Every structure is written in C-alpha cells, then in structure tokens.
Structure 1
Amino acid sequence: MPELGNEVAPPEWPGWPDEGCLLESLRSGSESAYEALLERFQLPVFNLVQRLIDDSSEAGDVTQDVFLKVFRNVTAFRGQSSLKTWIYRIAVNEAHNRRRWFGRHKRAEVGLEAEGDGLGYLDHLSDAARSPYDLALNEEWRSAIEKALEGLNPVFRSAVVLRDLEDLSYEEIADVLDVSLGTVKSRILRGRESLRKALVEQLEPSRGLHFTPQTAAD
C-alpha cells in the first residue's frame, strides 16, 4: 500500500498508458480508442460549442461535425500540440463556421459593443483584468453572463470562453486559436470589458445591482 501523500495520480486516459498510445490506437482505427476519446471530450466540446454559437439547439450537430473531423484527420495529427488543444481548435473553427452561416442566412451578426461615448459604471472599475465570472455570485448572475456572452464579437468571445469557462492557459489558448500570446491577452481583456459592460446594462438599471470591484490576480 502506498504511503499517505505518495499516491499515484489517476491516469488521464483510463485503460491507456498515455496520450501517445491512445493516438497510435486511434490511427489504427481502434474502436475502444474512439470510445475513450468521446468519453473524455464529447461533453466538454459540446459545452464549448454551445457557448460559441448563437443557436444552442445546433450545438449537438456542430459537436458531431467536430468529432467527424477529428476521426477523419487523426492520422494526419503529428502531436505538434496536445490532443486537447487540437480538438478544441477544430471545435472553435466549426462553431465560427456555424455562426457565419447563421449570420448570412438568418440574422445579422451582433456587434462587439453598443455605440455611445458616455461614461458609465465600467469607467470607474479599478481592476480591468478581473474575470467576469468572479462576479457571478449566484445562478441568476451566471445566467446573465451566459446571455451577455451571446452579444460578444466571436473573436473575443472565444478567448473569454476558453479562459474563463474552460480554464485553459494562455499558452493553450494561443495554440487553439493559432495566435500569439499577446493577441490572446488582448482579446481576453477586450472581451471581458465588453462582457462587463453588457452585464451592467443588463442588471444595474433594472435591478439596482452594483458590482464591487476587488483586486484579483489572473
């Protein structure tokens, strides 16, 4: 029996020694490897897609498209990134493609921010880097944030979702979005500020709610 404090961490891929072994089995067409991949990523990918497209009822179809692309292209994947970031990159691209389709065929794309130069509550917030999800004190606020996300420009929306909801590192997000670290940080900052503004417009005027700025490191 291992000593207390020296327990071996459970494997990321139960039944598989490591990601490399799983990839080899995927490339050889192993059904059990495909099942392991779906078990690990199907729900996270569905949740990610649902937050990136405007019609959540389409999330299931988009998720299916994501895994079709994964299975078709896994033999060409050479491990330049982790399997997770590669799958997330495909998911983000598929979600953006679906959003563009809706923009052309069903409704105009939502802009990043409402027009207007007046100063508001956001201009006095002391900590611009604080995650909006740190402000979500209850389920009502979380619901408001989900609604506010729908109004973000998809470029900034992806960065905010990957960071604040999926908890990916800046490096992982840069890999998923295929941009530099500086671009990732800029998109997250701008997306958070737009999200913050949408929340204030949504909650403060009608409910008299006020955000209490606190210092928080990201």
Structure 2
Amino acid sequence: MKEPVDPHPQADGQGPSDLDWGRIVEEHSDRVYRLALRLTGNRHDAEDLTQEVFVRVFRSLHTYTPGTFEGWLHRITTNLFLDQARRRQRIRFDALSEERAARLASASPAPESAYADQTFDDDVAAALGSLPPDFRAAVVLCDIEGLSYEEIAEILGAKLGTVRSRIHRGRALLRTALAHRAPTAGRTRYAGPALAVGRGVST
C-alpha cells in the first residue's frame, strides 16, 4: 500500500520531483474532476477546469503551507470555477446522464463516492445548473462534498453569514426546481438538499 504523497516541494525550492508530482495527480485527479463536473455541469468544461487546477497547483505548490491538502484543492477548484463563471454571461450546462456518472466512479470507489455518483442524476444536475454560480458552489460544497460552513467560508473567502445565506437561498431554489420529482419504481433517487441531515435545513 502506497503512503500518501507529501505535497511539499523539494528542499531546494525547485518544486516536486517527477514521482511526487505524478502521485499528486494520481491521488487527487478523480476527486478534483468530480467536483469540477458538479460545478460546471458538463464533461468538456470539467476536463478543462481540472487541467487548469493542476497547472495552478504545480505553479503554486511552493506556496502551500501545512494544512489540509484536499481543502487547498477544493479552494483552487472552486475559485477557478467562479472566476470562469464571472467571465461568462451564461454557463453552458449539459445534463449529466447516469452513464456518464457511472464512468466517473473509480475502480474501487469509497462507498460515499459511489453513492454520490449513482444519485447525481439528470434532474439534480439541471437544477444545480440553473443556480447562480456563487449559490451553486456553496450548495455543491455543502450538500454534495459534505463540507462544513466554516470550511466553505474559508474556501470561498466569504463570511460565515454570507455562506449560510447562499446555501439557504440555493437550497430554496433547488426545492422549487425539484418540486416535480416523484419516486420512480425500481430506482434510487437523490432526495435533494431539502432532506440533507445535519445541515440546518428546516422541515
């Protein structure tokens, strides 16, 4: 079993070795891509965003300070997405099919990852795509990535109250967009953020 890669650069300040950099990409690319897909809503933009994230990581690795490396990747991915979204008047959002979602799962995904991919269906993808980018990012990080309000505030560089407001308003818009949903026989469906446990959602 491989030990987790140390994301710190070499002592000479020239950046990570080829082996370390390869392991960083290997260990984190799937998760970054999943987040990018849920933010952008289509495979092509997700691939472009993932590539841009790792270019940014490579260039900025010498500035990384000890902490949660995954959190650092969340922050880079989300902020790059928001930068792109703000440069566009409209983000093209293609529905994520179940077939695409199945291909996202790794050979041996963690149970929570497999569940998220299975249930991230067309309706949820389309509803997320209708949200303003700031709301979408906050809801994705909270209700899909499972981050706390404090973690999201740090990633977005926003006040805690602002994060709570974006999540609350984003969830309200999602409830409206998903109001037509009804259980389908023989199919497990994502219940939507209205049923998220422990996230302060009123019933």
TM-score when normalising by structure 2: 0.68
Q: Could you report, residue by residue, the CA deviation over 1:67-122 in whole angstroms, capped at 9, with x for unpaired residues?
A: 0011001112223x52222211111122123223442xxx4899xxxxxxxxxxxx
User: What percent of counterpart residues are identical?
Assistant: 34
* Larger relative contact order, structure 1 or 2 (CA cutoff 8 Å, min sep 6): 1
Alpha-carbon distance between aligned partners in 2 of 1:33 and 1:41, rounded to the nearest angstrom? 12
SS in 1 for 2:8: helix
Matched residue type, 2:35? L
Alpha-carbon distance between aligned partners in 2 of 1:31 and 1:215, rounded to the nearest angstrom? 41
Matching of residue 96 in structure 1 with residue 75 in structure 2? no
- Kept in 2: contact 1:53–1:96 (CA 8 A): no
Q: Could you report, residue by residue, the CA deviation over 1:24-81 in whole angstroms, capped at 9, with x for unpaired residues?
A: 44964212221221122211111111122254422111110110011001112223x5
Aligned residues, how many? 164
Cα distance change of structure 1 residues 217 and 92 upon mapping to structure 2, 3 Å threshold: closer
- The corresponding residue for 2:109 is none
Alpha-carbon distance between aligned partners in 1 of 2:50 and 2:169, rounded to the nearest angstrom? 27
- The corresponding residue for 2:198 is 217
Alpha-carbon distance between aligned partners in 1 of 2:86 and 2:120, rounded to the nearest angstrom? 28
- Kept in 1: contact 2:41–2:125 (CA 8 A): no
1:87 to 67, 70, 73: 73
How far is 1:140 from its partner? 7.8
Structure 2: gaps spanning 5 or more residues: 94-114, 183-190
How far is 1:23 from its partner? 1.4
SS in 2 for 1:185: helix
Matching of residue 193 in structure 1 with residue 172 in structure 2? yes
- Kept in 2: contact 1:53–1:98 (CA 8 A): no
Alpha-carbon distance between aligned partners in 2 of 1:215 and 1:73, rounded to the nearest angstrom? 35
Alpha-carbon distance between aligned partners in 1 of 2:156 and 2:142, rounded to the nearest angstrom? 12
- The corresponding residue for 1:119 is none
How far is 1:173 from its partner? 1.1
Cα distance change of structure 1 residues 48 and 215 upon mapping to structure 2, 3 Å threshold: closer
Alpha-carbon distance between aligned partners in 1 of 2:119 and 2:196, rounded to the nearest angstrom? 23
User: What is the 5 A alignment of 1:105-124?
Assistant: 107=90
Cα distance change of structure 1 residues 73 and 193 upon mapping to structure 2, 3 Å threshold: same
TM-score when normalising by structure 1: 0.64
Alpha-carbon distance between aligned partners in 2 of 1:194 and 1:98, rounded to the nearest angstrom? 22
Matching of residue 43 in structure 1 with residue 30 in structure 2? yes
